[in-house]
Chain A
């Protein structure tokens, strides 16, 4: 019998509890236990960034965090970005700039960009490209993502 450990994690403001194996990855708790499938698994080795979430306010690759490590923490996933039909400025900017094609990298990409703009509200193009290094997109060649970040930066600054 595999030992299970009780955990409680707040995701997008809602509490999710349960007993999980100590080895369970946070991304699987989010997807399987909480049923929030917006967070994707792309590479299992923290290279691609598809599983990027906010963990207690900082970004983390949820394929490389154990659920038990995140117990008691607050997680924000892509499902926590829009308020009903009101899109977050980043979502709006990604849509406007055609910054996605297949959409698989997009949730992680948006969360990575959110952190980039919180730490640097007026990034240069070079800083944006550098800031996106941890997330792989295979469809867009990144160019329209860079454009979306510029648009979002402007609208989030209120400019």
Chain B
């Protein structure tokens, strides 16, 4: 195969509309007769609703209707959870789109106003009178599971949504026999995904035809259609979901939200299109959040530093209701990843999924894996410190050796391929590890607090085999499909069921088609994000789009190639097996002049003047790809920090990333994913975290209070990669969207702890804000 466009960093084909302001996001769409909805949200974290008086609001200028939970009850089914993990005693209390009797978090919907303008709708919200009876609230996920804690749902005693366990080997025996053990309690704060585009939905119900169209900021329009049907009762084939340009999601646009259902309900009642767009403050209250773990963890090892066991008890906050994928994240995507890049023979973990009076928790970039990688990498560093071994050397003693086709870990997964030590070596090389340690020693002798942090990671992506999805309770499949359609002029449309929203697949998928059949990249247009125009697919998340949807594009294009070969043989009056292919031409072996280009074939197939007997006209193929296994990208990252002991401020000075995501289609895009991913993992290590007060009021209510990384929070990131193809993937691709986020939180955290170790400080809860670091330093000075 000649390589023309694969592995080349061509410019993205989606960019011209984005850099000129011509892209159309949901809130940019204006339909004739469209009116606007605004949602009144609970100001209490937990309260009974005694009464809701909407009369004054209904009388406000421009107001068309005000609806409450009494109106939607019965008209809308509860918002479903779609990941019903088995063997966990899972409780699924009803999640009404609009609360009627009780609110359970600040942000729970209480009423909706529909008015001619958004300003009018928001004005009218202030005229709704709600009488609440406040109840005690609980946010800390461990406290929520204790006896006597305020109870959120009658059918979930002790606020336990589930108790899920993972076990492999005999961890208790390993701990009983261990020569050394280390332990820690790790808090991973709640995080706000913060896509720059707030969520938005436009619902258009046409009563005469019974058709509902929903424009939605969704990462997975086909799932949104499926769940819209479940909630509204409109048959699935009469629902069209369009995810137009979507401005980032990072997991927070996976769920099917009450707000989409409310917009649909309003349109169905009023017979006009209804738009709802959240404010950023609403996003901070009512868009799902990530993490919220308290992890009690311990590691057993021999005196030689060989890890023999890992035990965890994790309290995972789920928020007030189970979101679409909520239960699957701290379990399947977390507990099964406890081996990380290491050979750990004995693992046991118990994960308590706990309701608390916060915004529902669902996927946020990495989803479960940053939480797992952080605890593993933290314990490895503690073990290294305990044994007084260099943390890199300790990792080396425990890494899974190179393998090319399958490695079983005790949690039950089979990693596809890996060369973990190679990425570790590469990152040490890139950073100049030995000289960094020398510089650190010099700095320490001058009284400066410099730290070096290293982490390895393995992530599970390319979700995933549908049979496994079913076995772990996911209420859907995880395959993808694609249709590749050649037009008479040789130009190509590719329709995919996945729904990229910044990841660049309009470019990488065109590169796949160009690579497979030799058309120009610019002759391929990728169509996605519209359930009426695209075949079924389960969406863009979990680093799966290029791995799974891209495989479907590949297989469909290969079918095109097979048909083209047969048609070329017929037109060239040769046998199919005598037709060779190179660079977009099908030719008779030994006679390259006797050829048909793919464009010739496209024309001849579409006009169908001279088809071989039995061959259908047209040049179009579809493929459904259900992966045989997950893919397991991996890598090693390294960070250097300096802590200002006078102020507690952390200066992240250097960052190195070596990632192996299998075969790369567009290295420029891969590198961009790593940059963004690293930034999103540095955030929670140093800056980010939702803060609630005792009563459950969020104190981080705007971008002013919730600290996101800005351009000057980060150093230039040095990005390198290696290529270990996935053995089971048609292109060898693994996926890269979450890698940076998974690795960077523990890398930076470990670097800061390395800097502070000489002061006797071993743990500070994330995020490592200057105040917390300063207090820890003062405490160490005063307490010794």
Residues of A within 8 A of B (CB): 2, 21, 23-24, 31, 35-45, 47-48, 50, 77-79, 81-82, 87, 91, 94-96, 98, 100-107, 110, 125-126, 128-133, 135-146
- Assuming the contacts A139-B502, A145-B711, asked whether A43 and B675 have C-beta atoms less than 8 A apart, the reply is no
Q: How far is the CA of A107 from the CA of B459 in the complex (A)?
A: 34
Stretch binding the partner chain, chosen from B190-198, B208-216, B529-537: B190-198
14 new A-B contacts at CB < 8 Å, known A37-B27, A40-B196, A87-B16: A36-B21, A39-B21, A47-B704, A91-B20, A95-B15, A101-B248, A101-B676, A103-B502, A105-B196, A133-B710, A136-B710, A140-B672, A141-B676, A141-B717
Query: Is the beta-carbon distance between B675 and A143 smaller than 8 angstroms?
Result: yes
Q: Is the interface of A mostly helix, strand, loop or mixed?
A: loop
Question: Within the complex, what minimum Cβ distance (angstroms) separates A127 from chain B?
Answer: 10
Query: Is the beta-carbon distance between A132 and B711 smaller than 8 angstroms?
Result: yes
Total inter-chain residue pairs, C-beta < 8 Å: 177
B594 at the interface (CB under 8 A from A): no
Nearest to A96 among chain B residues (CB) is B11
Residues of B contacting A37 with CB < 8 Å? 21, 24-25, 27-28
Question: Within the complex, what minimum Cβ distance (angstroms) separates A144 from chain B?
Answer: 6
B394 at the interface (CB under 8 A from A): no
Residues of A contacting B197 with CB < 8 Å? 40, 42, 102, 104
Give B65-88 interface residues, CB cut-off 8 Å to A.
none
- Assuming the contacts A77-B21, A103-B15, A144-B675, asked whether A48 and B703 have C-beta atoms less than 8 A apart, the reply is yes
B140 at the interface (CB under 8 A from A): no
Query: Is the beta-carbon distance between B710 and A104 smaller than 8 angstroms?
Result: no
Query: Is the beta-carbon distance between A142 and B679 smaller than 8 angstroms?
Result: yes
Query: Is the beta-carbon distance between B19 and A141 smaller than 8 angstroms?
Result: no
Question: Within the complex, what minimum Cβ distance (angstroms) separates A28 from chain B?
Answer: 8
Nearest to A102 among chain B residues (CB) is B502
Question: Within the complex, what minimum Cβ distance (angstroms) separates A42 from chain B?
Answer: 5
Query: Is the beta-carbon distance between B712 and A133 smaller than 8 angstroms?
Result: yes
**Size category, B interface:** 35 or more
Query: Is the beta-carbon distance between B198 and A102 smaller than 8 angstroms?
Result: no
Question: Within the complex, what minimum Cβ distance (angstroms) separates B430 from chain A?
Answer: 16
Question: Within the complex, what minimum Cβ distance (angstroms) separates A123 from chain B?
Answer: 12
Query: Is the beta-carbon distance between A82 and B703 smaller than 8 angstroms?
Result: no
Q: Quick one: which of B195, B250, B672 contacts A98, CB cutoff 8 A? A: B672
Q: How far is the CA of A87 from the CA of B15 in the complex (A)?
A: 12
B279 at the interface (CB under 8 A from A): yes
Nearest to A132 among chain B residues (CB) is B711
Q: How far is the CA of A118 from the CA of B105 in the complex (A)?
A: 47
Q: How far is the CA of A106 from the CA of B17 in the complex (A)?
A: 11
Query: Is the beta-carbon distance between B702 and A140 smaller than 8 angstroms?
Result: no
Query: Is the beta-carbon distance between A41 and B198 smaller than 8 angstroms?
Result: yes
Residues of A contacting B708 with CB < 8 Å? 136, 138
Residues of B contacting A45 with CB < 8 Å? 280, 702-704
B270 at the interface (CB under 8 A from A): no
B680 at the interface (CB under 8 A from A): yes
Residues of A contacting B714 with CB < 8 Å? 129, 141-143
Question: Within the complex, what minimum Cβ distance (angstroms) separates B565 from chain A?
Answer: 36
What 10 A-B pairs come out closest when comparing CB atoms? Answer: A38-B21, A103-B18, A104-B247, A102-B502, A141-B679, A78-B21, A141-B675, A47-B703, A132-B711, A37-B28
Query: Is the beta-carbon distance between B27 and A41 smaller than 8 angstroms?
Result: yes
- Assuming the contacts A94-B15, A146-B711, asked whether A103 and B23 have C-beta atoms less than 8 A apart, the reply is yes
Q: How far is the CA of A128 from the CA of B714 in the complex (A)?
A: 12
